[in-house]
Amino acid sequence: MGIKRGLKVLAVSALSLGLLAGCNSSGGSEGSNGGGGSGKVIKIATQTPLSGGSATLGESIKLGAQLALEENKKKFEDLGYKLQLQPYDDQADPKKGVANAQLIGSDKSILGVVGHLNSGVSIPSSEVYEKYKVPMVSPANTATEVTDRGLKTVNRIVARDDFQGPAGADFAINKLGAKKIFVIQDKTAYGTGLADAFKKAAEDAGAEILGYEGITVGEKDFNGVLTQVLSKKPDLVFFGGLYTEGGQLIRQARDKGIKIPFMGGDGMDSSTLVEIAGDAVTDVYYTSVAADASKTTEGKDFSSKYKEKFNKNVESYSAYGYDSMSVLLKGLEAAIEGSDGDLPAREKVAEEIRKIQDFQGVVTKVGFDDIGDNKFAKVYIYKFSEAKYPGVQEGEISK
Amino acid sequence: MLADILQSLPQVLVDGIALGAIYAVIALGYTMVYGILELINFAHGEIFMTGAFIGVAMLILMTGMGWLAAMPAILALILVLVVTSILTGFMGVGIERMAYRPLRNSPKLITLISAIGVSFLLQDLVRFITEYKRGNYILTGPSMFNEQFSIKFSSISSSFSDAFFKTSTLILIIAVVIMMIGLDFFVNKTKWGMAMRAVAQDRETASLMSINVNKVISLTFFIGSALGGATGVLFAVQYGTIDPYIGFILGLKAFTAAVLGGIGNIRGAMAGGLMLGILEMFAAANLQLLTGGIFGAEYKDVFAFAILIVVLIFKPEGLFGKAVTEKV
């Protein structure tokens, strides 16, 4: 009897778990606009996390892309096409991303993808895009492997990780005058890659690396590592990792009386970092591949248009979503002209996008090299001087 | 090398005792339930986590209503601790009622699976509620007790450096000591404590001596869970940020601490927790030094657990456990 009742309990808990999972995923599937309408429809997909922990960033990319698409609608109507946005939610999950990519591949009216937010999702999904020859322009992926595979359809408009680390090292040594540096990383592909690139560049520039330590993602107590920092007395701590651990590390370091500057990569570029670290966040520097849109007049125009249309403030990647979509549509336009007004083949669109050499976007100039990296991509350095996100832009470094 | 280790030792001890104190109280929950039911309550780590969330939610709510600014911080903390521990205490009783009691006479494996199920359920429930309310499941509480202190070890001997800590560390350690002494007194000196020990010894005989076994078991769950929930609040105040998955790793380590001290033994769990915390902190600070840079701080858990395995090989009943034959 006992077993039977136990099974009942198990079944009930399994069922409620399933319900919860259902609630989670239904939040983001607003994507099916219904592809009706007469004439020749061209759809452009976006694939970003619209639910879950990084939904804010994913949503901002989608909205940026949507703005660019709506501004170009008129131009394409003159060419005889109806443009449509088809948003997908990848939930920052590679499995979901690949499943969506299959749907995108089999929908013949989709001629391009703007996405993803996470390199980890982008890499497997782009294998599917390559198979169906759907061109992709990424607004946010920094992992070197995204373009290193040499896929014909994969492009990005932001800088690579192996550029960001050295750029940070250069700033730390030449601008901040750091001579003795302590490096901490979170043992993930992202954190280790960034920390290694930073360490190598810093050593080449003559700085002394006092320690190179690892922490574990998900841990909450980093006092052991920080005790080492305390006893070695460096000028600067570099952290390769994400904002959750970064924020706690900074907070616990300040509690220990470690008042030196901290530095991190774009993984620290989040308002949650400020929320976690609080006032401890002052004197923290981070490199980011995303420019501060409010620095330029084009950027300010963009921000006010965005605010007016969506009633939301721009996030770090909004303008990159916008620029990615603009680049993609420019390639599409060239492909339509090349095919005398007929619906162009996907290969043709991909080819035309790769050919773009001098496109001026809102935040970045775009020109692709032969593997799809942007030749004009820059790395930006920010500093928190108070507990307020985003930090103040301190400098920018181009290749 | 030895000079370097000595140099950082005061700091390592302070941080290690703070972390170890948390392990110790969570270990109490494991050890009490095991002692009385021979059940490893894997949901206990999640009760700790839920306590941390309830506590932080209350603190945020109180900040929002301006209460936190109006009353002394320590009073607010005590209030939150009391309410949270009562809530998690009843939660523990409820879990026992629904997920364990119906399975009490079935094979042990079944209750173990039921416990794992409950722990996943709690993780996702807390995550769902937090995400629904705040849009993000990582929660940061209001910052409290941030005054910094340093103990001037360097004035004792120049081979030590000063140890830094903040008020919340002190509060954490004091609160844990009070909880431990209180529990020890309760179990060893009161009538209900005696009943608990009797049920742990032999459930059936105890019931023949007119002890209400179910009530005693409920009480055990209440006390263990209340302590776990209160520790969750202290943890959140000490470390600032919590997420629904903190209970898993911490619970596992606390369980290990309970085994190290001899599972079923309350004083053993306290000692095991403190030992594990200090060992872990020592490894994180010195592992690179000890191994000449081959292993870094990220291997601290391997180091701590390797020592645990060695202890268990030579003293399988744990450091403080008695080699009992009729039970365990």
Residue of B7, B11, B160, B294 to mutate for A, most A C-beta atoms under 10 A: B11
- Segment A228-277, tens digit of pLDDT: 898 888 999 999 988 888 999 999 998 888 889 999 988 888 888 888 88
Confidence of residue A6 (pLDDT cuts 50, 70, 90): low
Q: With a CB-CB cutoff of 8 Å, which residues 288-327 of chain B face chain A?
A: 288, 296-298, 300-301
Structural element, H or E, at residue B30: helix B2-37
Kindly report the number of other CB atoms within 10 A of residue A15's CB atom. Answer: 10
Residue of B4, B121, B148 lying closest to A257 (CB–CB): B148
Q: Which residues of B touch A21 (CB under 8 A)?
A: 124
Name the closest residue on chain B to residue A276, using Cα atoms. Answer: B140
Name the minimum distance, in Å, from the CA of B192 to any CA of chain A: 28
Name the minimum distance, in Å, from the CA of A56 to any CA of chain B: 9
Which residues lie across from B23 on neighbouring strands?
Answer: none
Which comes out higher in pLDDT, residue A8 or A273?
Answer: A273
> What single-letter amino acid sits at A146?
V
Tokens matching residue B45 = 């780590």
How many Å is the Cα radius of gyration of chain B?
20
Residue of A9, A213, A224 lying closest to B114 (CB–CB): A9
pLDDT exceeds 60 at position A37: no
For chains A and B, CB pairs below 8 A equal: 146
Name the minimum distance, in Å, from the CA of A10 to any CA of chain B: 7
Query: CB A2 to CB B246 under 8 A?
Result: no
According to DSSP, residue B101 is labeled G
Tell me, what's the pLDDT at B102? 92
- Segment A349-398, tens digit of pLDDT: 999 999 999 999 998 999 999 999 999 998 999 999 888 888 888 888 88
Q: With a CB-CB cutoff of 8 Å, which residues 124-153 of chain B face chain A?
A: 124-125, 128, 131, 135-138, 140, 143, 146, 148, 150
Rounded to whole angstroms, the Cα distance separating A94 from A360 reads 31
Structural element, H or E, at residue A22: helix A2-26
Query: CB A17 to CB B121 under 8 A?
Result: yes
Tell me, what's the pLDDT at B323? 59
Structural element, H or E, at residue A244: helix A243-255
Tokens matching residue A132 = 């169906």
Contact B148, B14 (CB under 8 A): no
In order along its 328 residues, chain B shows pLDDT tens digits of 788 888 888 889 999 999 999 999 999 999 999 888 888 888 999 999 999 999 999 999 998 888 888 888 899 999 999 999 999 999 999 999 999 999 988 888 899 999 999 999 999 999 999 988 887 788 888 888 888 888 887 777 777 878 888 888 999 999 999 999 999 999 999 999 999 999 998 888 999 998 999 999 999 999 999 999 999 999 999 988 898 989 988 898 999 899 888 888 888 999 999 999 999 999 988 888 888 878 888 888 888 788 878 888 888 888 887 655 544 3
Kindly report the number of other CB atoms within 10 A of residue A396's CB atom. Answer: 14
Which residue carries 């309830």 as its tokens? B54
Contact A42, A332 (CB under 8 A): yes
Instruction: Tell whether B99 is within 8 A of chain A (Cβ).
Output: yes
